Amino acid sequence: MNGRLRNKTALVTGSTSNIGQAIAEAFAAEGAHVIVSGRDRERGTRVVEGIRAAGGRADFVVADLDGSARASRELADRARDSLGGRIDILVNNAGIYPSSDTAHTDEATFDSVYAVNVKAPFFLTAAVVPMMTRSGGGTVINLGSWIARLGVPSAALYSSTKGAVETLTRAWAAEFGPLGVRVNALSPGVILPPAPEGSEPHLGEIMMRGTPAGTVGTPDAVAHAAVWLAGDEAAFVHGTVVDVDGGRTGAAVVAA
C-alpha cells in the first residue's frame, strides 16, 4: 500500500464482516483512521484489533441503523468525536437482504428493509455532509448492487432498495458536488469469500459462468475500488456507479 488515504478519516457502516470489513481494512492500510461500525460489538472489536495489529488506526462505534434519523445522527456524532472532529469519507455499506419473494413479503419486512437500506444511509448522509463541508469537503461512497439492474427471482424488495441508493447517488452528486463533496457508488456483483478446495459449487459461482471474469469476486475486489473512489485519483469522478461484478451486467453472458 502507498498511503493514498494518509491523514484521512473514514466511517464505514456495516464493517464488522464481509465487504464492509474489507473496505475498512483497505482504508486503514492506505493510512486512513477508520471507524468500524455495526451492531455486533464482539465482531467489531476483532476487526479493529486486526487493523491495529497490522499497523493501522481504527476504533469501533456500535450502531443499530434502524432507519431513524436519530440513530443516524448519533452514529455521525460519535464517529466525528472519535475521529477528532472530522469525517472525510463516508461509506454507506450496511444493509439487509430478505429471502422471501414478493407474494410472501409482509409489510413489516418491507418497512424494515427500506429502513435499513434506504432511510439509514439517507439520514446518515444528511448528518455527515454538513460536517464535511465545514472541514473543506469529503467523499461519500454508497453500495449498490448488480441486481438493481439485472432482475433476479426472489430479490424484488432488496433490488428496489439498491436502485433507490443508486438514484440517490446521482441526486446527491448534483446536490453536494458544488459544496465540495463527491458522491459515487459501487455496484458489487456476486461476492463470496474464497471457497475451501473441493467444496461444491455455490449458486453464485454457477451464476458467474460465461461472464468475462468467469468466477465470483472476493470482498477485496470491492475494497480496492472503494480506495480508488475515496482517493485523489478519482477527484473528477462524480455521480458514477462503478460496477465491480466481473462483467455480469455489462457484457453478454455465454452459457457454459
pLDDT in tens, 102-154: 999 999 999 999 999 999 999 999 999 999 999 999 999 999 999 999 888 88
216 against 15, higher pLDDT = 15
For 245, phi and psi rounded to 5 degrees? Answer: -135, 15
pLDDT value at residue 185: 98
pLDDT tens string 221-240: 999 999 999 999 999 999 99
> Which class is 9-244 in CATH?
alpha beta
pLDDT tens string 11-33: 999 999 999 999 999 999 999 99
Q: How high does pLDDT run on average in the chain?
A: 93
Which of 70, 72, 71, 50 lies closest to 60, judged by CA? 50
Catalytic residue among 158, 176, 187, 248: 158
> What's the longest Cα–Cα distance across the chain?
53
| Distance between CA atoms of residues 197 and 210, nearest Å | 21
pLDDT tens string 38-63: 999 999 999 999 999 999 999 999 99
Which residue do the cell numbers 469501533 mark? 60
- pLDDT of 243 > 60? The answer is yes
| Distance between CA atoms of residues 41 and 159, nearest Å | 28
Clarify whether 97 is annotated catalytic: no
pTM of the entire structure?
Answer: 0.94
- pLDDT of 192 > 70? The answer is yes
